[in-house]
Amino acid sequence: MSFFLETLIGGLMSGMLYSLVALGFVLIYKASGVFNFAQGAMVLFAALSMARFSEWIPQWLGMDNLFMANVLAFAVSVAVMFIVAWLIERLVLRHLVNQEGATLLMATLGIAYFLDGVGQTIFGSDIYKIDVGMPKEPVMMLENVFEGGILINKEDFVAAFISAMLVLALTIFFQKTATGRALRAVADDHQAAQSIGIPLNRIWVIVWCVAGITALVAGVIWGSKLGAQFSLSTVALRALPVVILGGLTSVPGAIIGGLIIGVGEKLSEVYLGPYVGGGIEIWFAYMLALMFLLFRPQGLFGEKIIDRV
């Protein structure tokens, strides 16, 4: 029983981290109707920026304070992500207003390759450390209830908590602020939103900035766990089944989807894996998402599309 609980909790915590990346997809889709294939590349770019600036800033300023170095590096990385967002709007999206969804998708694919390449060119392609003081040693809980107790990874726990806070903030932003409502209006219909005076270009810059900050938080957390390196961009692939399952337009969907995928893949690997040779968690996540789609094509929380004919 304790092992099952450990696997379950481990899955839930991984799921929260997937949700964090999935949120980036949802944010941009909600606000612009664009499926942003570059989200993984943005996570990598942000993580590399954080890692390298936290290394370079103390050298440039001759300081020896890790906390200050991290704060400054985070601030610089926020600025970097804002610049990236602005450039994407200016150089790519502005020219594609009212184009087909597939065109915009391909544009984000191009952005992904560009960010992957330019990120490694500017910041390097080694594994870089992000040390934000995340606890690395595990902790044992409920030792009196279960023999040997339940092992909890403190780092995952802190990461899941930060993810939950970010999700909460974003939900409030989307539901309760004027900008959030404007973002949703743009997502529904570009032309209609423009006709009632919503400035499309500014909205796109805002949403890419928010997605950039989400990517930065995800990059810092994943980078602290795995080191800032190229594989972070592949983390986005883990978030794809999450958005398929949760629905592309729903923030709560990204969270619930993340939790289901996280738990599903861990339980499948541990309990089914040994019977089929192991290494199944990645494709199992996609299979799980596809099975959900059979019953709810719009995802768990996605909006039903109704067209009049």
Partner 1 sequence: MKLRKLAVAASVAAIGLSALFTTPAAFAAEEQFFPVLAYRTGAYAPNGTPWANGFVDYMKLTNARGGVNGVKMIWEECETGYATDRGVECYERLKGKHGGATAVQPLSTGITFALTEKAPVDKIPVITAGYGRSESQDGSVFGWNFPLVGTYWMGADVLVQHLAKKEGGFDKLKGKKIALVYHDSPYGKEPIALLQERAKMHGFDLSLLPVAHPGVEQKATWLQIRQNKPDYVFLWGWGVMNSTSIKEAQATGYPREKMYGVWWSGAEPDVKDVGDGAKGYNALAMQHGAEPNAKVVKEILEKLHAKGQGTGPKEEVGQVLYMRGVISSMLQVEGVRAAQGRYGKGKRITGEQMRWGLENINLDQKTLDSLGFAGVMRPVQTSCLDHMGSAWARIHTWDGKKWNFTSDWYQGDEKVLRPLVISTAGRYAEEKKIKRRTADDCKK
Interface contacts to partner 1, rule CB under 8 A? 3, 6-7, 10-11, 14, 116-117, 120, 125-129, 136-138, 151, 153, 155-156, 225-227, 229-232, 234-235, 238, 265-266, 269-270, 273, 277-279, 281-282
In the complex with partner 1, the residue whose CB is nearer, 76 or 134, is 134
The dihedral formed by the CA atoms of 231, 77, 83 and 88, expressed in degrees to the nearest 10: 20
Q: Tell me the closest approach of the beta carbon of residue 231 to partner 1, in angstroms.
A: 4
Q: Tell me the closest approach of the beta carbon of residue 111 to partner 1, in angstroms.
A: 17
Residue 24, φ and ψ in degrees, nearest 5: -60, -45
Exposed, middle or buried, 88 (CB in 10 Å: 0-12/13-18/19+)? buried
CB atoms within 10 A of CB 10: 19
Task: Please give the structure tokens belonging to residue 190.
Answer: 């570009």
Q: How far is CA 129 from the centre of its chain?
A: 20
In the complex with partner 1, the residue whose CB is nearer, 99 or 120, is 120
d(C-alpha 106, C-alpha 100), whole Å: 10
In the complex with partner 1, the residue whose CB is nearer, 100 or 137, is 137
In the complex with partner 1, the residue whose CB is nearer, 7 or 99, is 7
Q: Tell me the closest approach of the beta carbon of residue 229 to partner 1, in angstroms.
A: 6
In the complex with partner 1, the residue whose CB is nearer, 55 or 303, is 55
Query: Is there a contact between 236 and 116 (Cβ–Cβ < 8 Å)?
Result: no
CB atoms within 10 A of CB 279: 10
- The C-alpha R_g of the chain, in whole angstroms, comes to 20
Q: Tell me the closest approach of the beta carbon of residue 191 to partner 1, in angstroms.
A: 41
Question: How much of the chain is in helix, strand and coil states, percent to nearest 5?
Answer: 75, 5, 20
Q: Tell me the closest approach of the beta carbon of residue 65 to partner 1, in angstroms.
A: 19
Q: Tell me the closest approach of the beta carbon of residue 136 to partner 1, in angstroms.
A: 6
The amino acid at residue 4 is: F
In the complex with partner 1, the residue whose CB is nearer, 32 or 224, is 224
HSE at residue 228, side-chain half, CA atoms within 13 A, is 33
If phi over 0 gives left and psi between -120 and 50 gives alpha, with beta otherwise, what is residue 234? alpha
Q: Tell me the closest approach of the beta carbon of residue 8 to partner 1, in angstroms.
A: 10
In the complex with partner 1, the residue whose CB is nearer, 97 or 226, is 226
Q: Tell me the closest approach of the beta carbon of residue 123 to partner 1, in angstroms.
A: 12
Q: Which of 272, 271, 245 is nearest to 260 (CA)?
A: 245
In the complex with partner 1, the residue whose CB is nearer, 14 or 108, is 14
Query: Is there a contact between 192 and 44 (Cβ–Cβ < 8 Å)?
Result: no
Residue 306, φ and ψ in degrees, nearest 5: -120, 120
